[in-house]
Amino acid sequence: MTGLFFVESPRWRDGRLWFSDWGTQEIIALDPNGRSEVILRVPTSIERNNPVARGPFCIDWLPDGRLLIVSGRDGLLLRRERDGSLGTHADLGALSHHPWNDIAVDGRGNAFIGNSGFDFPGGEFAPGILAVVTADGSARQAADGVAFPNGMVVTPDDSTLILAESYGKKLTAFDIAPDGNLSNQRVWAEVDGYPDGICLDAEDAVWFGDVPNKRCVRVREGGEVLQTINLDRGCFACALGGADRKTLFMLAAKWRSSTSSVETEPTGQVLSAKVSVAGVTQA
């Protein structure tokens, strides 16, 4: 699929790839035959020419099937009800006034959300935090000192959260308690690159998008590189899906590193490649 702007947060669900386009402020679902549907347009107070500055709008689902959407600039976690109505699940503004980014939800309904810690793009770097929003909508800080928290996944047994620290050039793991508390922070893998969006496969390896190096990389715990797929533009995120979950979807766009933004032209694409190891089923 082409003609997109800043594509992020891919998720495979109900036979389609769901993702967000920050440039158009839309959540889109794409089927294997290339038919796309705009599921909703995210309301936000931010209207800027830079597509990065409008987002993030990252997505995941509660165990009961309701969609959660991070309205990152407004500091809100939104919830889409089954009738299509949209409301506030949690207000994150008290935890940080900086932009909120990616989200991962465990099987108990705990939603983990990363905060950049500084005004991205264009601001001076500072460490960020992770928040947890429990199923009742209460929010609290779960971890701090993370270097631009980005993509996240929860292991199928709900025991571990794996986080991409883009500015730390590493993947970090935490143990998850039933109440959503995080502990035992540790380096899962140091990588030669800048991990962005990530996904997990059935052999416990992680695929990560790497924007500056224009590639998607598969690594195992400890950092061994298992496979690399090179692209002609930055890879922002990835997801495993398809009928057998062996299709790797890669979300890519051209990136202007000198201005910390994507092109204002629609260079965003959804790409796919067949891989040998299936993705895990989300919690």
Tens digits of residue pLDDT in 101-127: 999 999 999 999 999 998 877 788 999
- Helix (H/G/I), strand (E/B), else coil: 253: strand
How much of the chain, in percent, has pLDDT values that exceed 70? 93
Give how many domains the chain has, as a whole number.
1
Hey, what are 35's tokens? 């038919």
| 11 domain-assigned | yes
* Model confidence at 258: pLDDT above 60: no
| 2 domain-assigned | no
Rg, the chain, Cα only: 17
pTM (two decimals): 0.94
* Model confidence at 282: pLDDT above 80: no
| 132 domain-assigned | yes
* CA–CA distance, 54 with 73 (Å, rounded to integer): 7
Edge-first strand order for the sheet with 26-30 is 7-13, 16-21, 26-30, 36-41
Q: Exposed/middle/buried for 17, CB within 10 Å: 0-12, 13-18, 19+?
A: buried
Tens digits of residue pLDDT in 142-191: 999 999 999 999 999 999 999 999 999 999 999 999 999 999 999 999 99
| 281 domain-assigned | no
The domain in which residue 112 lies consists of 7-274
Q: Which residues of 81-114 are buried (b: 16+ CB within 10 A; e: fewer)?
A: eeeeeeeebbebeebbebbbbbbbbbebbbbbbb
Residue 72 belongs to domain with CATH number: 2.120.10.30
